[in-house]
């Protein structure tokens, strides 16, 4: 009896060890995903928190598409400079935020020229080309003449990103190859389709265009807040339509209702909510 019991015990432990080994191996296997990063101005800093969560949990990002601020985060990520960008935005206060913008006091094409921000991109990202990305990278802008999305997969990265963030009326337009380009969020605020049309699988999207709530709305808005709210309403309905008709794995939706267009000084809280939203969505 003693011998039989000992054999059974050894057999039990060998099964347990094998099972635990299998579980540990499974945990170490990276899960391949494609990532769609939506538009949303300062809310887009939440993309950083989402990416940090994904990497922490062993997800392997094999392709990435970005619209507007999503294109900024995507670019810094693929060229391994996301930590630099994160530290930069964490250093910003309100005064430093507006020092990045060259304001036009007699605007003809936009309230902000965008030269300063383009110089920052050039200094920090360099003269890299999109096709040099180690994984497929898609930058979304909008052709102002045709109204259709323009998807950049090659060419100078910084110029494509500058076009992608060109909020109409706020930033001046960008001319690339004869096309007058504005913000990617105008035509495609959540670029799930860009990934699916290029045969990428297991798409996780980050939607920053949450339902518009009346709470906290300023009854006497200035020109910037009026435009931003109108643009946000448009993007919300566009994003809802995209989500209802697209094929994807998960949609992460950070709660950032109180974050304004230029609230980059709230970087720490915005990034944390991105991380928390990813955790809520992917662990449910």
Helix (H, G, I), strand (E, B) or coil at 182: strand
Length of the chain: 284
Please report, for residues 56, 138, 214, 275, the alpha-carbon distance to residue 53 in angstroms, rounded to integers and kept in the order given: 5, 22, 31, 6
**Which of 39, 41, 67, 68 is labelled catalytic?**
68
DSSP per-residue string spanning 41-110 = GGGGGHHHHHHHHHHHTTEEEEEEEEETHHHHHHHHHHTT-HHHHHHHHHT--HHHHHHT--B-SS-SS-
CB neighbours of residue 155 within 10 Å: 14
Closest CA to 269 of 254, 251, 280: 254
Helix (H, G, I), strand (E, B) or coil at 183: strand
Helix (H, G, I), strand (E, B) or coil at 112: strand
DSSP 170: T
68 is catalytic: yes
Residues with Cβ < 8 Å from 40, sequence gap 6 or more?
46, 68, 69, 70, 185, 189, 208, 209, 235, 256
The residue whose two tokens read 């990063």 is 37
**Which of 133, 183, 193, 232 is labelled catalytic?**
183
Residues with a catalytic annotation lie at: 68, 183
């Amino acid at each position: 009896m003693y011998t039989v019991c000992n054999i059974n015990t050894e057999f039990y432990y060998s099964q347990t060890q094998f099972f635990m080994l299998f579980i540990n191996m499974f945990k170490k296997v990276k899960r391949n995903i494609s990532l769609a990063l939506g538009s949303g101005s300062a809310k887009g800093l939440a993309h950083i928190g989402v990416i940090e969560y994904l990497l922490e949990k062993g997800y392997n990002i094999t392709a990435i598409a970005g619209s507007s601020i999503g294109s900024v985060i995507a670019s810094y990520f693929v060229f391994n400079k996301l930590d630099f960008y994160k530290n930069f935005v964490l250093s910003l206060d309100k005064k430093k935020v507006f020092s990045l913008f060259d304001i036009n006091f007699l605007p003809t094409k936009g309230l902000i020229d965008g030269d300063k921000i383009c110089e920052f991109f050039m200094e920090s990202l360099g003269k890299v080309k999109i096709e040099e990305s180690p994984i497929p990278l898609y930058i979304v802008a909008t052709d102002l003449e045709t109204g259709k999305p323009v998807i950049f997969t090659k060419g100078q990265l910084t110029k494509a990103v500058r076009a992608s963030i060109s909020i109409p009326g706020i930033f001046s337009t960008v001319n690339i190859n004869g096309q007058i380009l504005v913000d990617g969020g105008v035509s495609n605020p959540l670029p799930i389709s860009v990934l699916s049309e290029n045969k990428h699988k297991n798409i996780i999207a980050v939607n920053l265009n949450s339902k518009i709530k009346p709470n906290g709305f300023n009854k006497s808005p200035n020109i910037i807040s009026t435009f931003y709210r109108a643009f946000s309403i448009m993007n919300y309905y566009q994003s809802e339509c995209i989500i209802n008709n697209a094929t994807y794995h998960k949609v992460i939706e950070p709660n950032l209702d109180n974050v304004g267009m230029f609230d980059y000084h709230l970087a720490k809280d915005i990034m944390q909510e991105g991380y928390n939203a990813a955790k809520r969505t992917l662990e449910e």
